[in-house]
A = this chain, B = another copy of it.
């Protein structure tokens, strides 16, 4: 057995915090950093004395100097670029032979280019978008859709399995993991838009929303997203749920799918590949955002439809 590598986690948002927590539980020494002041210190304090230890770093560069594996769990490609090449970025501080694990949802082409850019610095790269939500990340049950050169997987020394319930290995170069994540987001976005359209159409015809939910979730028209997201419609929580401190929090916002279906569109457009369903769904999320609903639950696309 190889010794477990020390792992740095950059970005302690809903997913990153759960992944860092899981790594500590599974015996990895963890160094954490976050752009928001105090967040990494609070994480380190909360896990003091557990397993192989948790500590905070003040910047991506300070973190990178202490670890073999850097895991980046930020919002998008732009933030990932900043983590690596911005002020106090990780890239220049990473040790030769260490590995950068990219967990954001990004364009496959962008991820391929980043693999080459880090390789030129002697740093391995794993294309590793994630899926499953905050609760699964915290429980160590999330899914990772990865692809990388074999040497990069070796350099990660088991850290991927240390964060996830299931690590898919989808090929020996960056981009394939991101391509699968993009395809997943295509389906997720289309299914949410279709669920909203179907629910609104049924209610408009006089069917009780709860009846429709009950029948569809037990029929061939069901999808993971219909079941998950139409619950927000039934509960009347499209604007978010109170977090106990007077703030409305949403699970996943309309603007996330404006972004993700935008990625889907750009990737397909670049290869002249037609996506009629995804295009219709992108227009629905864009219309909802234009109507001022960008920060509401993604299921708020249902608000575009006429009421009974």
Contact = CB atoms under 8 A, between A and B. Distances in A.
Contact of A276 (B170, B197, B216): B197
Contacts of A132: 219-220
Interface of A: 108, 131-133, 143, 145, 166, 168, 170-171, 175-176, 179-180, 183-188, 190-191, 193-195, 197-202, 204-207, 211-212, 214-216, 218-226, 228, 267-268, 271, 273-281, 283-284, 305-306
Nearest to A206: B176
Q: How many copies does the complex hold?
A: 2
Contacts of A200: 273
A21 to B, nearest CB: 21
A170 B283 CA distance: 33
A206 B173 CA distance: 11
B202 A179 contact: yes
Contact of A201 (B183, B204, B281): B183
Contact of A275 (B180, B197, B228, B276): B197
23 contacts: A166-B218, A179-B202, A180-B211, A183-B198, A183-B199, A183-B201, A183-B205, A183-B212, A187-B194, A187-B198, A187-B226, A190-B277, A191-B194, A194-B278, A200-B273, A204-B271, A219-B224, A220-B228, A223-B225, A276-B280, A276-B284, A277-B277, A277-B280
B202 A180 contact: yes
B211 A170 contact: yes
B221 A184 contact: yes
A142 B143 CA distance: 33
A273 B207 contact: no
A218 B284 contact: no
Contacts of A274: 305
Contacts of A214: 168
In the complex, the 8 A-B pairs of residues with the closest C-beta atoms, listed nearest first: A187-B221, A223-B223, A184-B221, A179-B205, A190-B194, A183-B202, A280-B280, A194-B277
A208 B212 CA distance: 36
